[in-house]
Amino acid sequence: MRQLLVTLLVCLTSFSGYTNNINVSNVNLSNQNTADKTTTVSFNISWDNSWRLSVGQQNWDAAWVFVKYQPSGSQQWYHAKLKTTGHTAPTGSKVDTPADGAGAFIYRSAAGSGTFSLADVGLKWDYAANGLTDGALVTVKVFAVEMVYVPQGAFFAGDFGTSNGAFKKGSASNDTRPWDITSEGAISVTTAASNSYYYTQGTSSSTASMWGLGTGSSFTIPAAFPKGFSAFYSMKYEVSEGQWVDFFNTLTTPQKNTLDITATGTTNKASDGVVNRNTISWTGGDATTQAPNRACSFLSWIDAAAYADWAGLRPMTELEYEKAARGNMGAIGGEYAWGNGDYILPVTAVANDGTAEEASNTLNANANYGNGGVLGPVRVGMFATATSNRQQAGASYWGIMDLSGNLWERVVSVGYAAAHPFAGTHGDGELSGDGYANNADWPGATGATNEVKGAAGAGFRGGSWSSTAAATDLRVSDRRWATYNYATRGNDHGFRAVRTAPGL
């Protein structure tokens, strides 16, 4: 993620932030219209390894672009509200803006692949909606995050009982058919033996406060709970250290104090040095990182929810996780995100450590797991090269990276009653004064202000660098930790956010 600064009505810009595969440049504000209270935020944008496919899965990658502004004399950054129409999309591109105006998706308008570069993209900012007057003096930052479009369609959740706690049909032990998700309608989970949706707890623990609903529980997953049938965008990569630092550096001091992963204590990184390859440091002022392209560890559920809210995104559900990995293909027993369970090899050493060129130094490695030679996360998307296929790159059906391994994916679980009210609302770009997400339907929302402060209902999928050599945690349908109510910061905990596609 890259950000540029510009002062209202002045075209001089200065760089601030970290590169994370996507570059923004030449930011300026122009075409102020005092009649409709808008101004255009224009910029250039480019990223490598972009694509749009017209055959096969027929999807594309995109940049989720959003704008933050800081009024003159203020220490606080606010989220700019965009108009839903009137943007400038250069030739070869499309710009989609959701109804809430929290940002815009920018992507190819026709099939193609490779580096995607656009000059003079223009987003129309409705500054009056932010309470600003015509003569306001502000500084703006433009942020961009690589996303992948997951189209609407049916899919399977589960892998014929191969994985721990995998979704299956019917309570009979010999009935291991996966759930078929054919709509966003409510799902009734029962103990009936025929064609019902049956629930299996991912762990044998009976401690309900930690592990949620038990095997054979009957419950309803509401229609509003995102099931993965409807189209959505997923972050292409896990949140990187650079992205976390860019986010963190827009916060007020009280917000930073809440979200400081380097703080002392046994449940934090507890250091400004390097711990399990996490290089983030904050001793006051702005935080820094030595490895901006490396996946960011030590993220608790509170941290993850705050980032999603700030970016105008939301957490993904565990059903969306399986759709993001498997696509609309048939389920395969024990499969990983790259579509089979027959091949997986851990990275044990890296070259160009900590740089944008960090790469596997282990021949044919395609995942980071095993708690072996690399004791921490690696660069996001590290296994993908110009010539790699899906298996070699460790990529999902849609082209989403690192869904198996590197860092655990935080998901909203169906196996926790506290998570069932989750309706997939998106962040509004603003956090509470002390740094918490403020969506009332998100797991952990508590108190009169509905701040997200707990992890009840948020679990883990996909495994991590610390997963054992057996690699069972990395399987797409493995639910051993899917309802683990763990609120603290772990050295193998990461995050990626999603957003329901505009118009849905």
pLDDT at 439 over 80: yes
Helix (H) or strand (E) holding 27: strand 22-33
Q: CB-based contacts of 493: which residues, under 8 Å, 6+ apart?
A: 297, 298, 299, 300, 407, 408, 410, 460, 464
Query: Residue written as tokens 């932030």?
Result: 17
CB of 174 closer than 8 Å to CB of 347? no
Helix (H) or strand (E) holding 325: helix 318-326
Better-predicted residue by pLDDT, 24 or 449: 24
Nearest to 182 by CA among 164, 197, 171: 197
- pLDDT bracket for residue 10 (50, 70, 90): very low
Q: Mean pLDDT over all residues of the chain?
A: 92
The pLDDT, as a whole number, for residue 13 is 33
Which DSSP letter does residue 178 get? P
The pLDDT, as a whole number, for residue 4 is 46
pLDDT at 1 over 70: no
The pLDDT, as a whole number, for residue 209 is 57
CA gap 405, 494 in Å, rounded = 11
Q: What pLDDT, in 10s, does the model give residues 349-360?
A: 999 999 999 999
Q: CB-based contacts of 35: which residues, under 8 Å, 6+ apart?
A: none
The pLDDT, as a whole number, for residue 14 is 32
DSSP bridge pairs for 180? 156
Q: What pLDDT, in 10s, does the model give residues 306-352?
A: 999 999 999 999 999 999 999 999 999 999 999 999 999 999 999 99
- Nearest 5 degrees, angle CA 263-CA 431-CA 246? 60
Exposure letters 454-467 (e unless 16+ CB within 10 A, then b): bbbbbbbbbbbbbb
Q: CB-based contacts of 386: which residues, under 8 Å, 6+ apart?
A: none
DSSP labels for 416-440? -GGGTT---PPP-S---TTS----T
Q: What pLDDT, in 10s, does the model give residues 43-94?
A: 999 999 999 998 888 999 999 999 999 999 999 999 999 999 999 999 999 9
- Percent of the chain at pLDDT above 90? 84
Query: How many residues would you count in the chain?
Result: 504
Any idea which of 168-172, 389-393, 436-440 has the lowest mean pLDDT? 168-172
Q: What pLDDT, in 10s, does the model give residues 205-250?
A: 555 556 789 889 999 999 999 999 999 999 999 999 999 999 999 9
Cα of 60 vs its chain's centroid, Å: 16
Amino acid making up residue 314:
R
DSSP bridge pairs for 67? 142
Q: What pLDDT, in 10s, does the model give residues 453-481?
A: 988 899 999 999 999 988 999 999 999 99
Which DSSP letter does residue 42 get? E
In this prediction, residues 147-152 reach a mean pLDDT of 98
DSSP bridge pairs for 104? 65
CB of 41 closer than 8 Å to CB of 31? no
498-500 vs 232-235, strand pairing mode: antiparallel
The pLDDT, as a whole number, for residue 210 is 66
CB of 457 closer than 8 Å to CB of 418? yes
- Nearest 5 degrees, angle CA 421-CA 438-CA 444? 50
CB of 313 closer than 8 Å to CB of 341? no
CA gap 110, 66 in Å, rounded = 23
pLDDT at 5 over 50: no
- pLDDT bracket for residue 17 (50, 70, 90): low
Q: What pLDDT, in 10s, does the model give residues 188-206?
A: 998 876 668 999 998 755 5
Q: In the chain, what are the domain boundaries?
A: 3-146
The pLDDT, as a whole number, for residue 172 is 80
The pLDDT, as a whole number, for residue 413 is 96
Query: Residue written as tokens 């460790």?
Result: 394
CB of 467 closer than 8 Å to CB of 461? no
pLDDT at 7 over 50: no
Between the CA atoms of 74, 77, 83 and 86, what dihedral angle is there, to the nearest 10 degrees?
A: 90
The pLDDT, as a whole number, for residue 11 is 30
